[in-house]
Amino acid sequence: MANDEILANLPEIFARARAAQQQWSVVPLQKRARMLKLVRENLLDAARTIEGLIVSETGKPANEALLNEILPAAELLTFLSRSAGSVLKTQPIRLHLFKHYRSQIEYAPIGPVAVLSPWNYPLLLSLSTIASAVVAGNAVIFKPSEYASGVGLAIQSLFDNSALPANLVQTVLGGAAAGSAIIEHRPGKVFFTGGTENGRKVALLAAQHLIPAQMELGGKNPMIVLADANLDYATSAALWGGFSNSGQMCASTDRILVHESIKARFVELLVQKIETLKQHPGKNFGHIVTEKQKASYRVQLEDASKLGIFAVTGGTFSEDGTRLAPTVLEGANIEKSLAYRDETFGPIVTVTTFRSTAEAVEKANDSTYGLSASIITRNISLGARLASQLQVGTVTLNETAYTAGLAEAPWGGIKNSGWGISRSERGLLEFVYTRHVHRPRFRWLTFKSPWWFPYTPFQHETAACGLELYRRHWSDKLRVFPHFVWNLVQFLKSERRL
C-alpha cells in the first residue's frame, strides 16, 4: 500500500486500533505479560534476518546489530514479561483519615498510542516502546523511520505472529508528514525518539491537541576522566562510547573532560586505538545514514577550523562520502566550538581539560542537554559523590553509554534531552493513566459525610478544633481535644445533613 493511501486510511487505522485495544485491555495482566514471551520467541527465530536488515539499512557493523540491539531487545521482553504484573497491578492506598473507606490505584491503558521511532537503533528503541505499550494494555500506531522501514515491518511481523488481537500493532510507513498526520488523529499519547529539533515540532503539534508526549531526544554527553584513572581503561571506554554506531546515538560520549595532568598521554593512547580500528573500517565503523548528518559534520569541522582547533586524528570523509573517519578535536578554543556545544550525532569527540573536580562538574553541567554522563576513576566513592552533582538522567562510573539498553534501569533526560522515562518499572507507568477508586469498606458504613450541606455552626467549630489537633506538641493537642469532642457531639446531635 502506498504511503499516501496509508495516510488516507488513518481514520480506519485508528478505529481498528481502538477496537483491538478494547479487546486486549480486558485480558488479564498476567496473561498479557506471558504473551510477550511469544514475541520474544519470534524475535529469536528471526534474529539473523533482522540483524541483516539492521546492517543493510543503518550501515552499522553486524556485531553492533546483535550485541547492541537484538540481545538487549530479548532481555527487555524477558523483563517486561516478568515485571509488568507486579508493576501494573492494582495498588492499595493506606488512608490516614476515614478508615471506613478503602482507596486503591488502578492503572488503565492510555492508548491507542503513537510510537515514532528513529533510524539509529531501529529495533531496540522501537520494540522496547511498543512492547511496553502492549503489555500495559494499549494498541499501537507505529511509524518507524523512513530510513529503517524494513526493520519496522519486521517488528510488525513479530507481533502479527504472536496470537495477539488483530490490529493491536499497526505500522504506518512514511516520513515527517506521516508522523504529523498520526498526531493529528489524536492518539492517547505520543512517544517520540529523535533529535531535539524534530522533538520540538512533535511536542508543539501534540500540545495543540493537549496530547501528552514523551520526548527522548539528543545529548551532548560528558566523560570525566579523573587524574587517578587507568589510562588504558579510560581510553578504551572513550573509544567505544564515542564511536560505537559511529557516534550516531543519543548516549554517545561527545565531550571528554580529562584532568590536565594526564591529558597528553590520554589523547596519545586514544589516537593509537583509533588508528588500530581504522585498519578495518567496515568491520568496526558504520556509514553515514543521511545527507543531513553529513552536512552537520561539515559545519562543525569548518567551525572548528575557523577557531584554530585541529583534528588530532580523523576529520576527513571517505572517497565515496559514506564515512567520516573517527575524529578527535582539541585546541585552546574547543569549548567555544559547535562540536563541543551542539549535538553531533556522529564520529566526532572533543577533548578539554580541568584542574579540579569542581571545575569538571561545572564544565560537565555547562550544556543545554542533560541525558547522560560518565566518570572514569579508581576512587569509586569520589566518583559516586561527583555523579550526584551532575545534571543528567544517567551517570555511569567506569562505563559509558550502554545503560540505555538496560531493561531494569530508567532512561531519560532533562533540559533539551527531553522528558519522560523509558524502560524500567518506572517507564511502564508512562503507558497508563492512574485511576483512583474510593469506596466504603462495607455497605453498612455508607452514610452522609459530615462536610456535606448545609454549612452549620457546630460543623465549622468541629473542623476548627480538628485543625488544632495537628499542633506539634501534645500539650496543645490535649488542650483542644475536649472542645473538639464537645463540638462534634453537638454537631452530630443537632445538625443533620440534607
List Cβ neighbours of 85 (8 Å cut-off, separation of 6 or more).
29, 30, 33
| Best CATH choice for the domain 221-407 from the list 2.40.50.140, 3.40.50.2300, 3.40.309.10, 3.80.30.20 | 3.40.309.10
pLDDT of res. 280: 74
Catalytic entry in 57, 216, 330, 343: 216
Give the burial string for 353-389 (b: 16+ CB within 10 Å, else e): bbeebeebbebbeebebbbbbbbbbeeeeebeebbee
pLDDT of the residue at 261: 98
- Long-range own/partner contacts, residues 386-393 (CB < 8 A, 24 or more apart): 386/224, 386/357, 386/360, 386/361, 389/361, 389/365, 390/222, 390/361, 390/364, 390/365, 391/365, 391/415, 392/221, 392/417, 393/417
Question: What pLDDT was estimated at residue 2?
Answer: 47
> Is-contact 103 90, C-beta < 8 A?
no
Question: Catalytic residue among 51, 250, 330, 465, which?
Answer: 250
pLDDT of residue 1: 45
Global confidence as pTM: 0.94
Q: Where do the domains of the chain lie? A: 3-217+424-435, 221-407, 449-494
Residues of the chain with pLDDT under 50: 1-2
Class of the CATH-defined domain 3-217+424-435: alpha beta
State phi, psi for 83 to the nearest 5 degrees.
-105, -25
For position 3, what pLDDT does the model report? 63
465 in active site? no
d(CA 9, CA 172): 10
Q: Report the pLDDT value the prediction gives residue 289, as an integer from 0 to 100.
A: 87
Handedness of CA 166, 169, 173, 179 (dihedral sign): positive
The residue assigned the cell 490516614 is: 96
| Predicted local confidence at residue 197, as pLDDT | 93
pLDDT, residue 430, reads: 97
Is 250 among the residues known to form the active site? yes
